[in-house]
């Protein structure tokens, strides 16, 4: 089934806002998960008041799996670009995100794209980081998605390197080697990746460490292997 209805958690965030702008210009029906009415009105402005974009108020650490699944139901895909910026790692980046996996299964919505962080799969990388707790939360959220949900969800994990607010380049590299320079990536390009792979079956069940580079975001071969 192709994806046409998408719910975006973290829609008012920096990457989230780029995602909403992109989706609003394409043929998607989008629900933006925001935290208050002021954020909802920002989203409407971003989407040029498109009738294809609506908002719902939810705070994932306070919401139950049932609340989350009620919002997810009726969509074809979930994009998770939430993050507590280190302020509430256990409740948001770990438990909030895992509750959303459970809610997606409960709502019978299989396609799910999660934003994690560069090399979150590698404990040694996280151990050397200044933000070790952040890496622990990202590592276990990803690991639970892979270990417990791979037969229930068509997931893709996107792990960007250091984010910037630079303009889009439209190009990325998939980082395959721990020793490779991790570079940087603009949030607009991360948003482009999220939208580009929504319907790309080759990316199901896969995780990608990404930075700006030389491969076209809109070329499916970029995501091979």
Ligand X SMILES: NC(=O)c1ccc[n+]([C@@H]2O[C@H](COP(=O)([O-])OP(=O)(O)OC[C@H]3O[C@@H](n4cnc5c(N)ncnc54)[C@H](OP(=O)(O)O)[C@@H]3O)[C@@H](O)[C@H]2O)c1
The H or E element that residue 210 is part of is strand 206-212
The only residue of 23, 43, 72, 115 in contact with ligand X, by rule CB under 6 A: 115
Stretch touching ligand X by CB under 6 A, among 42-50, 66-74, 155-163, 175-183: 155-163
Mark 40-59 with x for binding to ligand X (rule: CB under 6 A) and - for no binding.
Answer: -------------------x
Note whether 61 binds ligand X by CB under 6 A. Answer: yes
Stretch touching ligand X by CB under 6 A, among 9-17, 22-30, 42-50, 193-201: 9-17
Note whether 126 binds ligand X by CB under 6 A. Answer: no
Minimum Å distance from CB 118 to ligand X?
A: 6
Separation between Cα atoms, residue 178 and residue 105, nearest integer Å: 33
Note whether 163 binds ligand X by CB under 6 A. Answer: yes
Tokens of 67: 């609340």
The only residue of 26, 85, 131, 178 in contact with ligand X, by rule CB under 6 A: 85
**Residues 28, 19 contacting (CB under 8 angstroms):** no
Residues marked as catalytic: 134
Separation between Cα atoms, residue 176 and residue 200, nearest integer Å: 20
Note whether 29 binds ligand X by CB under 6 A. Answer: no
Name every residue whose Cβ is closer than 8 Å to that of residue 110 and which is 6 or more positions away in sequence: 104, 152, 153, 154
- Residue 106 class from Cβ within 10 Å (0-12 exposed, 13-18 middle, 19+ buried)? middle
Q: Cβ atoms within 10 A of the Cβ of 177, count?
A: 7
The H or E element that residue 126 is part of is helix 123-127
Note whether 117 binds ligand X by CB under 6 A. Answer: yes
Separation between Cα atoms, residue 142 and residue 155, nearest integer Å: 10
Stretch touching ligand X by CB under 6 A, among 110-118, 142-150, 204-212, 215-223: 110-118
Residue ranges in contact with ligand X by CB under 6 A = 10, 12-16, 35, 59-61, 81-85, 92, 96, 115, 117-118, 160, 162-163, 187
């Amino acid at each position: 089934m192709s994806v046409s209805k998408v719910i975006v958690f973290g829609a008012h965030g920096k990457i989230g806002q780029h995602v909403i702008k992109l989706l609003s210009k394409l043929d998607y029906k989008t629900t933006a998960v925001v935290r208050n009415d002021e954020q909802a009105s920002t989203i409407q402005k971003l989407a040029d008041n498109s009738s294809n974009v609506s908002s719902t108020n939810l705070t994932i650490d306070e919401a139950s799996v049932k609340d989350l699944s009620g919002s997810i139901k009726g969509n074809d895909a979930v994009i998770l670009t939430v993050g507590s910026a280190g302020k509430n790692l256990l409740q948001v980046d770990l438990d909030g995100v895992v509750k959303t996996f459970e809610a997606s299964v409960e709502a019978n919505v299989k396609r799910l794209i999660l934003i994690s962080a560069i090399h979150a799969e590698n404990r040694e990388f996280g151990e050397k980081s200044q933000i070790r707790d952040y890496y622990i939360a990202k590592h276990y959220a990803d690991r639970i998605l892979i270990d417990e949900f791979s037969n229930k969800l068509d997931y893709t994990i996107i792990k960007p390197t250091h984010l910037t607010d630079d303009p889009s380049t439209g190009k990325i590299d998939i980082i395959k080697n721990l020793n490779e320079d991790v570079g940087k990536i603009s949030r607009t390009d991360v948003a482009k990746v999220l939208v580009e792979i929504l319907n790309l079956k080759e990316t199901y069940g896969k995780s990608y460490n990404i930075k700006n580079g030389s491969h076209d975001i809109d070329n499916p071969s970029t995501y091979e292997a």
